[in-house]
Amino acid sequence: MKITLTHLLGLEGVSKQDITTILDTADTFKNVLKRPIPKVPTMKGKTIVNLFFEPSTRTRFSFELAEKRLSADTVNFSASSSSVLKGETLKDTIKNIEAMRIDFVVMRHGAPGSAKYLSECVNASVINAGDGAHEHPTQGLLDMMTIREKVGRIEGLNVTIIGDIKHSRVARSNIHGLISMGAHVGVCGPATLLPRDIRELGVTVYPSLEDALADSDVINVLRIQLERQKGGQFPSLREYRTLFGITGERLQHAKKGITVLHPGPMNRGVEIDSDVADGNASVILDQVTNGLAVRMAVLYLLAGGRSKMEGDSNAQ
């Protein structure tokens, strides 16, 4: 199967069929990654630029490694080392890079919609690695891959996202993707950090964490940003932990067999306790491994590949 997308800007509007194709392909790549030489020549000769206008460690490393595992040529660009500091606009930066004949652009940028804007400025395929509070589609995909791997399915599951939904691109991509895949999505967090009319997206709002945990097969715990407290959106990290922190004690009253995700980086002792993060319910490190496989799958499929890989027998 091929996918119908030319860019991956978000999961809103992406079909169940396309998501399933990406996840199936990612499963195959995960096996490739277990080989002694975990590399395929599939994207040899393709040039990919990783444009990171915001600091990122794991997402940037994950994309870079995925690109290398596919044998693509990669160039990295980060805002701190670039002409952005000299006042160059995003469009000019992009036009300059494109003049060097790039096939793919992976971009993280603080402005919502910047990935779409980029896709309108260039001929290259664009992968959104996070655009402000809008979307982070590969995170949504790797979360779904991890859930499917752990639980065996996505359809019909109760998946609840906990924390700062309002400012979270991870939450938005998860909500759109999970709803497409037939999950029941819940959200739970401080009232000040829930976006307006969130129910109209088709999600359940849980006012109490206890109710959310009792209902959920899976929880996805978001990182709380300290700057939200400074902005007056919640009183203290201490109270956040008291009301919304996922502790081992709380998890004992959760639905049996609950699975815990966290997109990282974690604030241990704030939104999640170490006994949960490192415990049996946690799949946090699987998320990291799956992130690599999902990003390989996305690049491969956007380059025109099929879910049953032609290049597979040529593995080095």
Partner 1 sequence: MPSNKPEFFETLLLKGGTVVDPSSNRNEKADIIVDGDTIRQVGTIDASSFSGKVIDCTGKTIIPGLMDMHVHLREPGEEHKETVESGLRAAMNGGFTAVCSMPNTKPAIDSLSQIELLRKLSGGMLTDLHPIAAVTKGREGKELTEMGELAAAGAVGFSDDGSPVLNSGLMRNAMEYAAMVGRCVIDHCEDPDLAGGGHMNESLQSTYAGLKAIPSISEAVQVARDVLISEYTGCPVHIAHVSTEESVRIIRNAKARKIAVTAETCPHYLVLTDEAVRTYDTNYKMNPPLRSAKDQAALIAGLKDGTIDVIASDHAPHHADDKDLEFSAAAFGIVGLETSLGIVLTELMGNHQFSLVQIIELMSANPRRITRVPAISIQQDQTASLTILDLGMKWTVDSAAFMSRSVNTPFNGRELSGGAWGVVNNHQVFVK
What is the contact surface with partner 1 in residues (CB under 8 A)? 12, 89-91, 109-114, 116-117, 131-135, 169, 172, 195-198, 200-201
Q: Residue 13 region, left (φ>0) first, then alpha (ψ -120 to 50), else beta?
A: left
CB closer to partner 1, 18 vs 131: 131
Nearest distance, CB of residue 197 and partner 1, angstroms: 4
Residue that is written with structure tokens 């006042």 in the block: 87
CA atoms within 13 A on the CB side of 209: 22
Nearest distance, CB of residue 135 and partner 1, angstroms: 7
Alpha-helical regions (H) of the chain: 16-32, 58-69, 90-98, 114-121, 137-151, 169-180, 209-215, 226-230, 237-244, 248-251, 274-277, 284-302
CB closer to partner 1, 197 vs 310: 197
SS3 220: strand
CB closer to partner 1, 201 vs 237: 201
Nearest distance, CB of residue 20 and partner 1, angstroms: 23
Nearest distance, CB of residue 172 and partner 1, angstroms: 6
Rounded-to-10 torsion of CA 43, 5, 197, 236: 0
Nearest distance, CB of residue 316 and partner 1, angstroms: 40
CB closer to partner 1, 117 vs 244: 117
CB closer to partner 1, 7 vs 30: 7
Query: How many angstroms separate the CA atoms of 37 and 204, rounded?
Result: 45
